Chains A and B, each alone.
Chain A
Amino acid sequence: MKVAVHLNVNRQEHDIEIDSRETLLEVLRERLGLTSVHRSCEEGECGACTVLVDGDPVSSCLVLAASVEGAAVLTTEGLKKGDQLHPLMEAFLAHHGLQCGYCTPGLLMTAYALIEKTDGQELDDARIRRGIEGNLCRCTGYMDIVKSIQAAARERQLGNWW
């Protein structure tokens, strides 16, 4: 069934017509061209499709797009300032937090929410691993991901953040 929805994505308002069976993943990728949101297991078991809805990480493959009317959605395209990478992304580059990059956008959104939510608290290894337990990575073995997130949290404390 066709429905008109009003979505707020990356701080932009969109009025679009979708099919009510479309997931948020499909709408973001295919209707809005936000291809950083990756299609992977499509059953909520890997986290590659993670985006933020009202600041909370969710698996976009498990969300019916029609249900996020009125909520604010954020993807990695929304973290960048034009072409400028977000300090979180710079931290991942500096500390080798990615290899193939497939899990990376989902991980970045989870990490962003984690750092925002823990607002200045020390993020030790255990706390970070608990926070990212919903994002699987087959390449890195997670150590450098943890280091990248710790470095990013330090950048936020130094005021290099948005």
Chain B
Amino acid sequence: MKNFIGSRALPEIQYHRPADMASLLALTGSLGGELKMVAGCTDFIPAIRSGKWVFENGLNVVDLKNVSELVGIREEGDRLIIGAATRLTDIAESESVQRSAPVLAEAVRQMASPQVRNIATIGGNLCTASPAADTAPPLLVLDAEVTIQGGDSRETVPLTKFFLGPGTTRMKPRDVLTEIRVPVMRENEAARRTRMGLRTAFVCSIISLAAWIRWDGAAIAAARIAMGAVAPTPIRLPDAENALIGTDGGPQALAETAERAAAGIAPISDLRASAAYRRSLAGTLTRRILDQCIADLRG
């Protein structure tokens, strides 16, 4: 059914709801025609309504929400393993995530709206691969990896190698993202994030960023900074990171880092914000979250 002028109807759908990976792989291995794997549908349905995705000959919709192996959060040694079809709400409210990767829980809590978080999934956010994907900056600074299953083969890759361009990832058609593997944060580490948007909820971030630092007692031993909505994909900022590593994290080091962060991005001007504003925010907000990280380590 159509709604208002310009809103497209959904195409003819053959709906499948596998209960486990074996059934899922049997489907992806055998179904003919166009196939789309969905979870929350919070990107899928709007993309069709707006005409971004068109399926002229109908399609197979394979719902991943019931695939038991893809849902849930568990701890495995020094890693948090998050099933790709885990709901954003469950990630935000998870005690494990709040304890071991609080920077991710905080980022997720601010995404979209409660109604969307109750159905959207972390895997969906990553696979849609918007340059502004809000789960990406925290996952990038925590050095997360993702596991991709293609038929019989399975590989785990760093998230830094996952995004190829706006809306594009290294996944091939019919590949399945199965889990996100996140190193657990340790005591001598701090991580913070923030984002800027035109309002509080329902925001497509005009910039989102996260920073992580490890303190060895005398200096910053390691640092990671990541941003979204300022480049064709979510990115790490190695040049800015190098301005921090080995320093005492004092005002001079932070100022230099913030300056390199602003210089190290490739923002565009669009209907939400100008490139100049994004660049300005990159510097200011990097400084802000680094200040918070240093305070966390001291406190």
| CB proximity of B298 to chain A, nearest CB, Å | 28
Say yes or no: is B14 at the interface (Cβ < 8 Å to chain A): yes
Q: Is B260 an interface residue (CB 8 A)?
A: no
Q: Is the CB of A43 within 8 A of B63?
A: no
Are A66 and B115 interface neighbours, CB within 8 A?
no
Q: Which A126-158 residues sit within 8 Å CB-CB of chain B? A: 131, 133-134, 136
8 Å CB interface, A50-83 against B: 50, 53, 56-59, 61-64, 66-67, 69
Q: A58-B115, A64-B61 are in contact. Are A21 and B41 (CB under 8 A)?
A: no
Contact: B49 with A63, CB < 8 Å? Answer: no
Contacts of B41 in A (CB 8 A): 62-64, 67
Select from chain A the residue with minimum beta-carbon distance to B202: A45
Q: Is the CB of B114 within 8 A of A62?
A: no
Chain B residues engaging chain A, CB cutoff 8 angstroms: 1, 3-4, 7, 9-15, 17, 38, 40-42, 45-46, 49-50, 61, 63, 65, 89, 112-116, 118-119, 200-202
By Cβ-Cβ distance, the 4 closest A-B pairs, closest first, are A134-B113, A133-B201, A20-B15, A21-B10
In the complex, which residues of chain A have a beta carbon less than 8 angstroms from the beta carbon of B50? Answer: 43
Residues of chain A contacted by B112 (CB below 8 angstroms): 44, 134
The residue from A42, A69, A110 contacting B3, defined by CB atoms under 8 A apart:
A42
Report the separation of the CA atoms of residues A22 and B45 in the bound assembly, to the nearest whole angstrom.
11
- Residue picked from A21, A39, A53, most chain B C-beta under 10 Å: A21
Q: How far is the CA of A19 from the CA of B89 in the complex (A)?
A: 29
A136 to B114, CA, bound (A): 12
Which residues of chain A come closer than 8 Å to B114, judged between CB atoms? 57, 110, 131, 133-134
A residues sitting closer than 8 Å to B (CB atoms) are 1, 3, 19-23, 26, 30, 39, 42-45, 47, 50, 53, 56-59, 61-64, 66-67, 69, 110, 131, 133-134, 136
- Cα distance A19–B13 when bound, in Å? 8
With CB as the reference atom, state the residue of chain A lying closest to B87: A56
CB distance from B66 to the nearest CB of A (A): 9
Which residues of B are found within 8 Å of A50, using beta-carbon distances? 115
- Find chain B residues with CB under 8 A from A58 CB: 115, 118-119
State in angstroms the CA–CA spacing of A66 and B41 once bound together: 12
Q: Can you identify 5 A-B contacts, CB atoms within 8 angstroms?
A: A23-B10, A44-B42, A45-B202, A57-B115, A133-B201
Query: Which of B1, B13, B38, B46 interacts with A20 by CB under 8 Å?
Result: B13
Q: For the complex, what is the distance from the CA of A26 to the CA of B2, rounded to whole Å?
A: 10
Q: A43-B46, A58-B115, A61-B45 are in contact. Are A21 and B13 (CB under 8 A)?
A: yes
Residues of A within 8 A of B116 (CB): 44, 59, 62, 134
CB contact under 8 A between A64 and B115, given known A20-B15, A26-B1, A42-B3 = no
Complex Cα distance, B12 from A110, in Å, reads 31
- How far apart are the CA atoms of A118 and B146 in the complex, in Å? 35
Chain B CB count within 10 A is highest, among A42, A69, A131, for A42
Closest residue of chain B to A20, judged by CB? B15
Complex contacts, A134 vs chain B, CB 8 Å: 112-116, 201-202
- For the complex, what is the distance from the CA of A140 to the CA of B57, rounded to whole Å? 45
Checking B4, B15, B113, B202 against A64 with a beta-carbon cut-off of 8 angstroms, the contacting residue is: B15
